[in-house]
Structure 1
């Protein structure tokens, strides 16, 4: 038995590697830069965890979300690894001081792009041996860095202090453009690339155009109350996520809403309840889902058109991690394309905002926090006109990305095949339940939901209370 397989069995309890895992780990240990694109559920965490036990030094993992960091820390602790920490807002002042003073004692350090700009943290990092650096959910560099988290772009400057340290970039989906952004931002030198097919044969695709918003709500409520989950309902706004959750709860569904405006503790609680099977559905904005370790998600429903094909594939890919049949449904109306563009543009500055920001002291003007954060970054690196041109181009690209996804639903071609083609892949074998354009039988895809007596009593009381209160 070779050393890698031995560590795999002893530390992680697996008898064999999945496709590509061993090759990627070998490259990381050899000190090579690596880009690994594997679908959700293919064991991306193992790719940075296992090599740590075969090389000297500390692994620094740059992660996009607090909840994702906390979850990965807990997973490592369950495995018996005590030398792990997430440096984020969950640490008290005293805890953070202790960690910084003892940084060299940790094998795994999780942190955020924002924390990488902390002077003291960087000073302490420079005193310890770094084995390699991990960019987890690396597509965020391209998808979020230009949009609302410019600290993702600042990673490029931060890495100049670690020129001899190799970088491992991990993500579930990435177009050629996103891969190019990752390579450039992370200063990768002829990286080893492993790109797994994005095709998920056990996920069937269903797309329906409806007449109006009321019909859409009725369709979604009907689908969720008559079929089995677990599932995630993705919607565009905080208000809608709360609305759907209330409607479904009134019908006896174990459901919660989730969005970025909630307290962090509440969001983590809902994520844990969903993962542990205490909730059957979560009605959420796209803030939910990254890092969810739940194998048996049977349904993903979108009540809108996402802002890109990559975002759509990322979100539906959270279903069927166990390989069993699941369904990704998307329902929309004719006005949803414009609505998707409006939502995508909300935080982007207009030309006048950019001119005002460049010509005034930042304390003198009132712009949304996200807009101010974005412009503060670009003011450091671009002229006023260059920034105006940049955001004009970004807006145009956003519109084209939305149109590209919408166009998939406006023809009679296989949805799966079109999604694959967008990532320069071709469909080699069509599953028996593919999409509603070609082979698809809803009875084979979804199990009908049976109401328990408790649920029926709950529904009866809800109905009677509503009759009394209205």
Structure 2
């Protein structure tokens, strides 16, 4: 089988990027594969090329609607017509049509929640697949236990007799996360390909401030004087709105992005950023996965992320074109307490577990707790899953362990901030890898001058910004 010829025929490339050939060869040989490839290294080609080698459909389990839609759009732009996304965007008629002709598609995208719907599950059992893909597979571990437990059920749905190979894809994953991926996908002795998580073209900078207000003032001054495109990450929806307004007042093309916004508004903002109409996005961690913008030059963490995995995922959205980019990690006293609160606010407490069991004992449906506002949607999903797996006392212990684990993850980020050792070496070691060679420009702890990598900001013409300003004003009024 000439893989290079297939690569040239369908994708127009003459050579594979590092790791792609090894991954595809293992899949062709019928092996399960866990592939850790940094953002921008061509993960999607690892399942798209096999889709053209085999005559049977490829099933891709994708965590986000925006990510799924982006991948579908990219395939269609390349001329692929046999692609479908089973998601909430489909009308009932479109869904029935897609399910009826499911066997005729080459690429089938589906969310974990949709995968578990009886109608979809039953139809997929009738379709002979060539490959099953878990995209952004780290979400199985990082989201499944305490955010979207349906991830933990994926393996239950997948056919175990004569099933095709499973490919788990991610940009970053620790050894424990990889073990979770293999376990919950019920993988069979998978081939592992682990590319270094180190991105040499992203320069790591940390900055300490006495007060939180000083961080905001620094961001405004910095963004006003340096060029993007860039993403500013915060932990608060309200802060994304406030900071984006500060930037708009200074004639900077910026917008807030968070899960509380209307779906159409989020799609509009994302598209404006991708096409260069917006220079800066101020976002919670709801933004980024599946956003394929090659020329992001700056990432600013207004406050510390809750885990080093999140940190690496988020800074990895810069410099996908291989050019220089800078990642700023800002910190003020007390940030770690807020990060711990954000990381655990949706974890059910003992009182919630007791109430859940009381409602069941009374003969009511537990979802009444949602209607009464006694549980958040996330807390309900977590309890609804784990109380089917374990006893109430075991679930209480599990929730406590999750809380301690999240606190420990925040403390590792704090160590990155406070420790004087090489920042790059610390994050690489976190993923069980080693940094074999120090680069000249590395991080704040090694000594770095980022001025050569930051271009001065050029004023945009007002006429260029009229359209997006009008549309953003509509979004601001609505929110």
d(CA) in 2 for partners of 1:3, 1:439 = 47
Q: Is 1:233 aligned to residue 222 of structure 2?
A: no
1:286 Cα offset (Å) = 0.1
Q: In the TM superposition, what whole-angstrom CA distance separates every residue of 1:170-191 from its partner, at most 9, and x where no partner exists? A: 0000000100100000011110
Match of 2:446 in 1: 438
Aligned to 2:207: 208
Shift in Å, 1:58: 0.8
Match of 1:424 among 428, 432, 435: 432
Equivalent in the alignment of 1:88: 87
User: Could you tell me how far apart the structure 1 residues matched to 2:172 and 2:350 are?
Assistant: 32
Which residue is equivalent to 1:273?
272
Cα distance, 1:432 vs. partner?
Answer: 2.4
Check if 1:155 corresponds to 2:163: no
Q: Are 2:21 and 1:22 aligned?
A: yes
Measured against aligned partners, the alpha-carbon deviations of 1:3-57 in whole angstroms (never above 9, x if no partner) come to 2111111111111101110010011111110000000000000001001111231
Q: Which position in structure 2 is the counterpart of 1:368?
A: 376
Alpha-carbon distance in 2 for matches of 1:449, 1:364: 53
Q: 1:363 to 1:428 in 2, by over 3 A?
A: closer
Is the 2:134–2:167 contact (alpha carbons within 8 Å) kept by the matching residues of 1?
A: yes
C-alpha distance 398-233 of structure 1, shift in aligned 2 (>3 A): same
Q: Distance in 2 between matches of 1:149 and 1:424?
A: 26
How do residues 40-119 of structure 1 correspond to structure 2 at under 5 angstroms? 40-119=39-118
2:381 is equivalent to residue 382 of structure 1: no
SS of 2:281 mapped into structure 1: strand
Q: Which residue of 1 aligns with 2:164?
A: 165
Q: CA deviation at 1:430?
A: 2.2
- Contact map agreement 1:36 1:169 (CA 8 A) in 2: yes
Asked whether the equivalents of residues 433 and 445 of structure 1 are also in contact (C-alpha less than 8 Å), the reply is: no
Distance 2:367 2:119 in 1: 26
Q: Which residue of 2 aligns with 1:342?
A: 341
Is 1:451 the counterpart of 2:450? The answer is: no
Residue 165 (structure 1) shift: 2.3
Deviating above 3 A after TM superposition, structure 1's stretches of 4 or more consecutive aligned residues are: 160-163, 452-455
Match of 2:407 in 1: 399
CA distance in 2, matches of 1:261, 1:297: 24
1:108 and 1:10 map into 2 onto residues whose CA distance is 18
Helix, strand or coil for the counterpart of 1:14?
coil
Structure 2 spans left out of the alignment, 5+ residues:
361-365, 467-479
C-alpha contact 2:367 2:380 (8 A) present in aligned 1: no
Q: Structure 1 residue 451: deviation in Å?
A: 2.5
Q: Given the superposition, is the C-alpha separation of residues 392 and 39 from structure 1 closer, same or farther in structure 2, using an over 3 Å criterion?
A: same
* CA distance, structure 2, for counterparts of residue 175 and residue 434 of structure 1: 22
- Distance, in Å, in 2 between the alignment partners of 1:364 and 1:170 is 37
TM-aligned CA deviation for residue 453 of structure 1: 6.2
CA drift of 1:364 comes to 4.6
Task: Give 3-state SS (helix, strand or coil) of 1:169's partner.
Answer: strand
- Equivalent residue, structure 2, for 1:246: 245
Structure 2 CA distance, aligned partners of 1:309 and 1:208? 17
Q: Report the Cα distance in structure 2 between the residues aligned to 1:160 and 1:211, rounded to whole angstroms.
A: 56
Corresponding residue number in structure 1 for 2:473:
none
Any conservation in 1 of the 2:200–2:439 contact (CA below 8 Å)? yes
CA separation of 1:162 and 1:267: change in aligned 2, threshold 3 A: farther
TM-score normalized with structure 1 length: 0.95
Report the alpha carbon displacement of residue 343 of structure 1 after superposing the two structures with TM.
0.6
| Secondary structure of the structure 2 residue equivalent to 1:360 | helix
Q: Distance in 2 between matches of 1:132 and 1:453?
A: 49
- Report the secondary structure of 2:112's partner residue: coil
Partners of 2:146 and 2:10 in 1: how far apart?
A: 39
What residue is the counterpart of 2:180 in the other structure? Answer: 181
- Equivalents in 1 of 2:461, 2:180: separation in Å? 54
In structure 1, stretches of 5+ residues that fail to align are: 459-470
- Do 1:29 and 1:55's aligned partners in 2 also have CA atoms closer than 8 Å? no
Gap change, CA 1:278 and 1:162, over 3 Å in 2: farther
Deviation at 1:161, TM superposition (A): 5.2
Quote how far apart the aligned CAs of 1:166 are. 1.5
1:292 lines up with 2:291 in the alignment:
yes
Q: CA deviation at 1:277?
A: 1.1
> Following the alignment from structure 1 to structure 2, what is the Cα–Cα distance between the partners of residues 443 and 226?
12
Pairwise CA distance, 1:359: 2.6
Rounded Cα–Cα distance in structure 1 between residues aligned with 2:11 and 2:18: 17
CA distance in 2, matches of 1:204, 1:363: 47
Q: Aligned partners of 2:188 and 2:167: how far apart in 1?
A: 12
CA distance in 2, matches of 1:436, 1:118: 49
1:328 is matched with 327
Superposed displacement of residue 442, structure 1 = 2.1
2 CA distance for matches of 1:30 and 1:388?
44
> Which residue in 1 is equivalent to 2:422?
414
Give 1:224 shift: 0.8
> Displacement of 1:358 after TM fit?
1.9
